[in-house]
Amino acid sequence: MKKIYLSILSVALFSGLNAQIKQTNGPTVRSKSHKEVKPTIQSTNTEKAVTIWQSTFGDATEWILDHDAADCSLDWLIGNNSCAGFYPIADISSTSASDGWAMLDSDNYGGETGGVDVEDSWLTMANSVDLTTTPNVVVEYETYYRSFNAEKCYVVVGFGDGTGPASVVWPDLGPTTDISAMSNVFAPYDFASGDATDNPSVTQVNISPALVGASPAQLANVYIRLNWTGTWGYAWFVDDFKIIEQPEYDIQMLSAYIIGENNSGLEYGRNPINQMDANWVVGASVFNFGSADATNVKMLADFGDFISTTLDPLLENDSTRVYENTESPVLSAGVYTGSYTAVCDEELGGASFGNNVLERTFAVTDAPNMLYSTDGIDVYPAADAVLGLIGTDSFTDGEDGLVMTSLYHIKSATEVSGIQVVLAAGTVVGAEVYGSIMDTALFWAGNMSPLYAALPGTVTQEDITAGFMNVYFDGPINLPVGIYYAAIDCYSNGNSTDIVIYDDQTVAQPFDASAIYIAGAATPGPYTNGDALGIRLLMGSDWGAGIEENALEGVSIYPNPSQGIVNVSNNNNASNAIVVYDMLGQVILTKEANTATTLDLSGNGTGVYLVEVSNNNGSMVERVVIK
């Protein structure tokens, strides 16, 4: 039986194949803050498991907190404790967070510039469990963990003699310990610098290999330890700890993806119709959590307009396999949601089937609102979204001259009108933004010279209300085939007018999908940072700085913003054709009016819409914000 340790995200959308393990080429800067918009907490993936022992950390006496006194003085904390250092991460959003959690705050111990101790701290069960009759056992817990570059997390199995936890002989572990020959030691995370789990995620560690060959007396006295070791990491939160019996049959969908074959593994949230690949890679990662082999496994991805199916005669127990096909769907503008389902002969459905199904959503955009975005904000279902925040308040010396970028594949020469920046809470009126298109090779060489520079932009209250700002080129540019960074260079006047943007972490992306450069820092970078920053391309020539200017006499659109009811005046008695588009370019309303009229957009949800009014004298288009 193999050692198995995996992290199962607590949201329904997962990373694509090429993004499941982030590449390590490219450094990561230590951020001053790492703020999240919390996802909806969903149930864990152990629907069929029987719980042997559990702790929600509401009773601290269930655990022993200790450390290697020869190395450090750092201990775990139990309770509703928050990170207290200079580089905090958010509290864990676990299922039972109200009664406390366990936390190792390495950042606080290391101080502002980093400690020198090799921290070695552990959290050990105070009482043993009897696993005599349960040879197939998994440790499961909810977690929020962010790595830096010199630490390691271990799950360790220890055997007592019936006299208490002091009778256990524990291994001496460090961040570089070779555990390949230690059947009782598991390293659940193999993260690159700066990587983090979702908040929360569910980690499962199959400890069954540690039980093989143990005596009955040892199996009757099993202890579990969580051991942190390293120097100046961020933090490790743990809650809702369980020891569960592994079910005989239980296959689980770990991740699902759909990626254009020429996108180098980058899964775009919005795909312009003129940059679409003819072929798409559709796949999923399926894990056999059961103790027995699964036979005749089928993975089916159903997007309605097209279906992708993969068959496998055998998926061995404790094994993970990737199933994928290349499909050639014909797609028009719109939002596409695919349901990915894994079944086998032993598990075809029923009440315990939720972890066999995932969804993946993406959009195809067309004129007049053709957007290209690495992020899927407002495309991915809100309940599944995992959003971080990055801005001029996030990095030491990053308040002025912070460059943030998102990667774009241009496969067909195209016109680009400008850059859209998705604004988040913390943005202040007056922040200055300079948009540009950059050569990726020059960027990674530290050369921030733009290929194309947009007109300067200053954040207004209208931008903050809308949730985004557009910065335009002097006129549409012709962007040749290639791979580029859409970039924004940000100035906050010494943090008095910060700009903060969203980082869409719903889908893990390749390491270079987003990156930053901190001009004011002693070591400016560039650095990898973020998954899918809210920096988008305004594709085509239908966008422009003058798009909201009135081109029709006697016509006005008000109020703006609105709570749903929008008035269109008509003082020239012309016959107006009115078309309303959402931000994906889809028509949501059409109307003809010879007099003043009202449009009821309240049923379409909050957001930004384009209202186009035209008659024989001309036309006008205005963006309307529905709050």
d(CA 26, CA 512): 8
More confident residue, 544 or 120: 120
pLDDT over 70, % of the chain: 90
What's the mean pLDDT in 520-539? Answer: 92
d(CA 212, CA 184): 10
Q: Amino acid identity of 418? A: G
Token duo for residue 444: 């990674």
pTM for this predicted structure:
0.75
More confident residue, 317 or 78: 78
Residues 6+ apart with CB under 8 A from 119: 67, 71, 72, 74, 106, 109, 151, 228, 229, 230, 231, 233
What's the mean pLDDT in 573-599? Answer: 85
CATH code linked to domain 381-539:
2.60.120
d(CA 125, CA 53): 11
Indicate if the pLDDT at residue 199 is higher than 60. yes
Q: Of 30, 90, 169, 178, which is closest to residue 528 (Cα–Cα)?
A: 30
User: How many residues are there in the chain?
Assistant: 627
What's the mean pLDDT in 72-94? Answer: 94
| Bridge partners for 485 per DSSP | 407, 438
Q: Amino acid identity of 602? A: S
CB 127: neighbour CB atoms within 10 A? 14
Token duo for residue 203: 């980690």
More confident residue, 199 or 295: 295
49-245 and 557-626 agree in CATH topology: no
Q: Of 242, 222, 232, 27, which is closest to residue 112 (Cα–Cα)?
A: 232
What's the mean pLDDT in 72-101? Answer: 95
Indicate if the pLDDT at residue 546 is higher than 50. no
Token duo for residue 425: 């809470």
Strand segments (E) across 147-209: 151-159, 185-186, 201-206
d(CA 618, CA 614): 6
What's the mean pLDDT in 595-612? Answer: 86
d(CA 257, CA 17): 7
CATH code linked to domain 49-245:
2.60.120.200
Token duo for residue 511: 């390491």
d(CA 460, CA 155): 50
d(CA 140, CA 53): 10
Question: Cα 115 to chain center, whole Å?
Answer: 30
Each residue's pLDDT tens digit, 322-354? 999 999 999 999 999 999 999 999 988 765 677
d(CA 535, CA 503): 9
- Name the CATH superfamily housing domain 251-371: Immunoglobulins (2.60.40.10)
Local structure of 97: helix, strand or coil: helix
d(CA 78, CA 545): 54
Percentages of the chain per state (helix, strand, coil), in multiples of 5 = 10, 45, 50
CA distances from 72 to 67, 150, 176, 230 (A): 7, 15, 17, 10
Local structure of 219: helix, strand or coil: helix
DSSP 579: E
Cβ(280)–Cβ(259) below 8 Å: yes
Each residue's pLDDT tens digit, 207-255? 999 999 999 999 999 999 999 999 999 999 999 999 999 888 989 998 9
Q: What is the 3-state secondary structure (H, E, C) of 232-285?
A: CCCEEEEEEEEEEECCCCCEEEEEEEEEECCCCCCCCCEEEHHHCCCCEEEEEE
Q: Of 192, 251, 197, which is closest to residue 528 (Cα–Cα)?
A: 192
Cβ(481)–Cβ(412) below 8 Å: yes
d(CA 445, CA 584): 35
Tell me the fold of 557-626: Immunoglobulin-like (2.60.40)
- Average pLDDT of the chain? 87
Spell out the domain ranges in the chain.
Answer: 49-245, 251-371, 381-539, 557-626
Cβ(5)–Cβ(188) below 8 Å: yes
Q: Of 323, 322, 330, which is closest to residue 280 (Cα–Cα)?
A: 330
